[in-house]
Structure 1
Amino acid sequence: MFELRRLRLLHELALRGTLAAVADALSYSPSTISQQLAQLERDAGVPLLIPDGRRVRLTEHGVALAAHASRALELEEQIRGELESLQAGIAPVRVAVLQTAAQAILPVALTLLADREPRLRVEIAEVPPEDGLFELSAGGFDLVIAEQYPGHTRAHRAGLEREMLGSDPIRLALPPDDPAGGVAELRDRAWVMEPAGTAARQWAVQQCRAAGFEPDIRFEIADLTAQVRLIAAGRAVGVLPDLVWADLDPPVRLLDLPGDPAREIFTAARQSSMSRGGIRAVRTALRDAFDARSSAARPSTAG
């Protein structure tokens, strides 16, 4: 008989690739992971792992059992969802969020949930979309709020279901006294952008290249609040989404970009978890909170 907790470890290894990564994700020691997988091999009666340099890789049997483990974990989640439908709030909902969503959407959504589902426990972590979607597949989160920039479609992971929240306009952000009228006039300015490899960074660089220059990226900062402060202080320029303002008056000069670009904000959840009433309730509250935010006045832009 296979124990589900050991099957979960094999599933995690298939996703993450190394025992160390599995240990970090699950807060176990690598030796504990190795011992449990060794017992799983004995239970299976066939080799599941083979040394590969200083690492291990799955054998053909290991790959096959990992696929079965994935299905077993999905079935477990469906069962838990059915039980939760009989007793709302039986399990917490773990949500990975963008920084801007945490600032502009979550407070309203959590207030709505406190009225609608007072027994529901919601756990929040601020996680980049690239990491959040992976951890959602791995079972680390139940729901993710992610973004998608124009022309940069995120890869669709098997077993995940997306639901659009809405669009979030992106604008050029300049120091209050900067007279520039568009991106093309900013080739000699210092830029602040998110770290390399993020969709936001790729999109921002493309806007500069379309205007005929390579941006001078002097500041690489993931925290958008810090970006705003740098721009307001006159030390940089950048592009920022409207959600960053979260009902605050922008301390920078905003300019509309050609074509009025906007990023798409969406939630993602595992298809196997959709029977969970708690997840559905959180999704509904997030959608209502986003709609309320969208109906508010947009930040003023320079003429």
Structure 2
Amino acid sequence: MIDLRRLHVLRAVAHYGTVTAAANALHFTTSAASQQIRQLARDLDVDLLEPQGRGVRLTPAAESLLAHADAIQARWEQAELDLRSEHAPAGPLRVSGPATAVSVLLAPVAARLQQRYARLSVRIQEVTGTESFDLLFEGETDLSVVEASPHNPPLGDARFDQQPLLDDPFDLVVHEDHALAGRELIGLSDAAHENWIAPIADPCRTHVMSACGEAGFSPGIVHHALDWNVTAHLVANRLGIALIPRLAQLTPHLPITRVRCTGNPHRKLLTCTRRGGRERPAVAAALDELRELVPTAVA
């Protein structure tokens, strides 16, 4: 009989890449996590980890075992769904996403759900980058809005269910007195020689650089910012121009204007759950609310 707790440790090693990182996520010591995997290997009479440089890698036997482990996790999600299928959404629903998704999508969804379902409590967590996948894997969130990125797990990853939510266009944001401010539509090549303000972090930085690259130039980046509103204030002070997603709600009354771009540069937002978790009543209700909000979110 496989000890599912030991199997979960092996899944964590595969997810985080090292025994130490997996141990930290599971609140184990590294030696305790290693012992769990060694015992699982003895139980099954196979090698699960093998040396690779200064670290370790999964053996083919471990990879095969993980495919079954991911299927087991999905069946647990389905079992919970079957037990709750006749009940209205209730209990805690934990959702997460980047700042723009929290502000424009998840906050209003939470308000609507809590008005509609008295026994449902929605908890929101703002996250960055690929952190949502860690929270989903650890069971710390139930539904996340994530930005499509090459750094994400592949869409076919058996642990997660990722589905398209919306395409969020990037607008060129300039000072209201800028020569480009009066345009209804602009090709980015017309801004090739401007001073640019760019995001620091991926994936948004990658989106901006790719959009400019497709327009045939590399932007002359003068300033960097983490927050879209910081970027907007830099633009308002005539320090440069920027590409900002339409979903970002900027500080009102700034002397800036958005100009739509030809070629439709955009980022893709997805909804993500653990495999088998999408049909849970609370998650399904949240997804319905999200889909209802999407048409007006980026109008």
TM-score bracket for this pair, using the shorter chain length: 0.7 to 0.9
User: Could you tell me which amino acid in structure 2 is paired with residue 215 of structure 1?
Assistant: P
SS state at 1:273 partner: coil
Q: What residue in structure 2 maps to residue 107 of structure 1?
A: 107
- Residues paired across the two proteins, number: 291
Aligned equivalent of 2:196, options 191, 194, 198: 191
- Quote the Cα distance in structure 1 between the aligned partners of 2:90 and 2:139: 17
User: Could you tell me which amino acid in structure 2 is paired with residue 94 of structure 1?
Assistant: R
User: Could you tell me which amino acid in structure 2 is paired with residue 257 of structure 1?
Assistant: C
SS state at 1:236 partner: coil
Within 5 Å, give how 1:35-74 maps onto structure 2. Answer: 35-74=35-74
Matched, 1:278 2:285: no
Residues 211, 158 of structure 1: alpha-carbon distance in 2 compared, 3 angstrom cutoff: closer
| TM-score normalised by L of structure 1 | 0.81
- Quote the Cα distance in structure 2 between the aligned partners of 1:207 and 1:57: 37
- Quote the Cα distance in structure 2 between the aligned partners of 1:253 and 1:265: 24
| TM-score normalised by L of structure 2 | 0.82
Shift of 1:139: 5.1
- Quote the Cα distance in structure 1 between the aligned partners of 2:58 and 2:214: 45
User: Could you tell me which amino acid in structure 1 is paired with residue 78 of structure 2?
Assistant: Q
Matched, 1:158 2:162: no
Matched, 1:241 2:245: yes
Matched, 1:256 2:267: no
- Quote the Cα distance in structure 2 between the aligned partners of 1:64 and 1:267: 28
2:10/2:37 contact within 8 Å kept: yes
Shift of 1:173: 0.5
Residues 37, 29 of structure 1: alpha-carbon distance in 2 compared, 3 angstrom cutoff: same
Residues 250, 111 of structure 1: alpha-carbon distance in 2 compared, 3 angstrom cutoff: farther
Residues 117, 291 of structure 1: alpha-carbon distance in 2 compared, 3 angstrom cutoff: farther
Within 5 Å, give how 1:147-226 maps onto structure 2. Answer: 147-148=147-148, 155-159=154-158, 160-180=160-180, 182=186, 183-195=188-200, 197-198=202-203, 200-226=204-230
Matched, 1:287 2:286: no
Shift of 1:74: 1.6
Query: Unaligned stretches of 5+ in structure 1?
Result: 299-303
Query: Unaligned stretches of 5+ in structure 2?
Result: none
Q: Percent identity?
A: 30
User: Could you tell me which amino acid in structure 2 is paired with residue 228 of structure 1?
Assistant: A
Residues 210, 104 of structure 1: alpha-carbon distance in 2 compared, 3 angstrom cutoff: same
Shift of 1:238: 0.7
- Quote the Cα distance in structure 2 between the aligned partners of 1:243 and 1:269: 22
Higher helix share: 1
Q: What residue in structure 1 maps to residue 236 of structure 2?
A: 232
1:192/1:227 contact within 8 Å kept: yes
Residues 167, 208 of structure 1: alpha-carbon distance in 2 compared, 3 angstrom cutoff: closer
Q: What residue in structure 2 maps to residue 117 of structure 1?
A: 117
- Quote the Cα distance in structure 2 between the aligned partners of 1:223 and 1:51: 41
